[in-house]
Amino acid sequence: MTEHHPQERHTVVPDPILMGFIDSVDRDIAYIAAESPIARVYALPNRGQPPFQYRGTLVRIEHFVRAPDGTFRKSTDPIPFEVEFEHDYCRSIDPLLQFRVLRTSPSLVLPNASAGV
C-alpha cells in the first residue's frame, strides 16, 4: 500500500514553450506601452514571474457600440480590454481561443468576429 503524505509538495515545472512566449509578449507589451499613441497597457503582477495577464485601454479609435436599445452607434470612447494567456495557450487547438484570451467591453461591436454568438 502506498503511503500518502499530505504535506508533500510537488514542484510544477513551467512549460518552456509557454514561458518563452510569455517572455516575448512581455517585451512586446513594454514596447507598445512606451511607443503606441493609442494603447495604454500594463501587466498585472505575477509574483516575480513573467506576467500572464494584461489590462489596457485603446484611445482615439472610432468604433461601433451597441446601445441599450439594441441599435449601433459610432463612438470614440476609450475601449477597455484584458488579455490573459492561459497555461495551455501555446498548445491549444481551440478555434475560439482568441475569444478567451482577449476580452473587451460587451457593448463593443466587432462586425467581422463572432464567437458563435
Q: Sorting pLDDT into bands at 50, 70 and 90, what band is 55?
A: very high
DSSP run (H or E) holding 25: helix 16-35
* 9-48 per-position pLDDT tens digit: 555 667 888 889 989 998 999 999 999 999 999 988 887 7
pTM to 2 decimal places: 0.71
Q: What is the DSSP letter of 48?
A: T
* Residue-level pLDDT at 34: 95
> Percentages helix, strand, coil for the chain, rounded to the nearest 5?
25, 25, 50
* Residue-level pLDDT at 116: 43
* 86-114 per-position pLDDT tens digit: 888 888 898 888 778 888 877 777 665 54
Number of Cβ atoms within 10 Å of the Cβ of 4: 6
Name the residue ranges covered by the structural domains of the chain: 38-103
